[in-house]
Amino acid sequence: MIQQRPFGRTGRKISELTLGTLNFGWQTDEATAFALLDAYHAAGGNAIQTAALGADRSAPSLALMQTEDLVARWRQSRGIPDGWLLIATRFRLRPAGDERGAFARALRRQCEESLRRLRTARLDLVLFEWDGERVPVDEMLAAFDQVVRAGLVRSLGVADMPAWRVADCLSRAYRNNWCRWEALQADYSLMVRARFEPEAMALCREQRLAFLARSPLAGGFLTRREDGEDSLPFTRRHWLNARFDNAYGEAALAAVAEIAARHEASPAQVALAWVLRNPVVTSATIGVRSLAQLDELVQGGRLVLSEADCAQLAAATAAEEVRLADPCLV
């Protein structure tokens, strides 16, 4: 069964594996999506991440918003009451115009639309996708405080915000008696470590922030088997190689493959077990397209790495040499 961990200061428990649904409804058909949701829930999973992208809507944005509707129809068809699952919705808001109050209006409208699609009275967790200083920080924090106090949202989180800005936001929220962030989401894997160790990890631990590890398999790069076989599309593999095909990447793959052989496990299971071994990690978000992939990762959550295994992985991935590209690995 998938284990659960405390969700920051909220008093709730969240499963250590969060099921990402960004492919549901457009790359993963509804029947397969329902089967994956059934299997995940049966294995003890209670955390599902959807997405609702804001004002700059394009065809991919509309496709992503279908995931909220699909998850709602699955939940209602299975008779799962409100509150039994923790459903996170990720927002990207770029309101048109910069007049005062534009962000607050866009945020409230987005929350109301997500509530309608999810068919629920309150959003469990809103993850705000940070993209720089587009909106004054105090205006942004006040707007999020308003949707919580209005009863539209239970908890707030932020994605891809640097640790120094998270600390600043926590301080501002305290001084102004605003609702604060309760979760930080960011890419975290053997391939992407340096930018979160130790500053962000220490911040999450000291401030009791839930840390949600996105892309724990480095977008699929760490799933490559010793024979070179993988199930990723050619374009995806080409992009990952362009980012990680260096001495650092080869060292990481070699170490993961050796430890996987030692445990009779897959590279994906070793990479995931390494992320979950970190006590600061609250939950790792996984994206799967088949029941076999889901079962592999659920089993990976049970894999226990030894101190020697972790020392070998640490030595192989100590000097991060990632070629920076698009920072988002879904």
DSSP 8-state class, residue 318 = S
Q: pLDDT at position 58, please? A: 42
Instruction: Write the class of the CATH domain 4-220+266-304.
Output: alpha beta
Show the tokens assigned to 79: 């008779």
- At 42-57, the pLDDT tens digits run 999 999 999 876 444 4
Which of 282, 257, 279, 287 minimizes the C-alpha distance to 269?
Answer: 257
Report pTM.
Answer: 0.90
157-171, 271-285, 316-330: least confidently modelled range: 316-330
Position 270 pLDDT exceeds 50: yes
Give the integer Cα–Cα distance in Å for 131 and 315. Answer: 32
Helix (H, G, I), strand (E, B) or coil at 55: coil
73 C-beta neighbours (distance < 10 Å), count: 15
User: By the 8 A CB rule, do 118 and 87 touch?
Assistant: yes
Contacts of 58-64 with C-beta under 8 Å, sequence gap 24+, read 63/25, 63/26, 64/22, 64/26
Show the tokens assigned to 328: 């988002």
User: CA angle, 285 as apex, 281 and 291 as ends, to 5°?
Assistant: 130
The domain segmentation of the chain, as residue ranges, is: 4-220+266-304
Give the integer Cα–Cα distance in Å for 226 and 210. Answer: 34
User: By the 8 A CB rule, do 311 and 237 touch?
Assistant: no
Q: Report which residue type is found at 182.
A: E
Q: pLDDT at position 99, please? A: 75
pLDDT above 90: percentage of residues in the chain: 70
Compute the average pLDDT of residues 86-97: 83
Residue with tokens 């991440």: 49
Give the integer Cα–Cα distance in Å for 222 and 189. Answer: 9
| Helix, strand, coil distribution of the chain in percent, nearest 5 | 45, 20, 35
Give the integer Cα–Cα distance in Å for 200 and 202. Answer: 5
Show the tokens assigned to 136: 């004054």
Helix (H, G, I), strand (E, B) or coil at 308: helix
- Where would I find the H helices in the chain? 30-42, 59-77, 102-118, 137-149, 163-176, 199-207, 234-244, 247-263, 267-277, 291-300, 307-316
Residue 26: which pLDDT band, with cuts at 50, 70 and 90?
A: confident
Q: Report which residue type is found at 283.
A: S
Give the integer Cα–Cα distance in Å for 204 and 170. Answer: 11
pLDDT higher at 236 or 289: 289
DSSP 8-state class, residue 80 = P
User: By the 8 A CB rule, do 302 and 274 touch?
Assistant: no
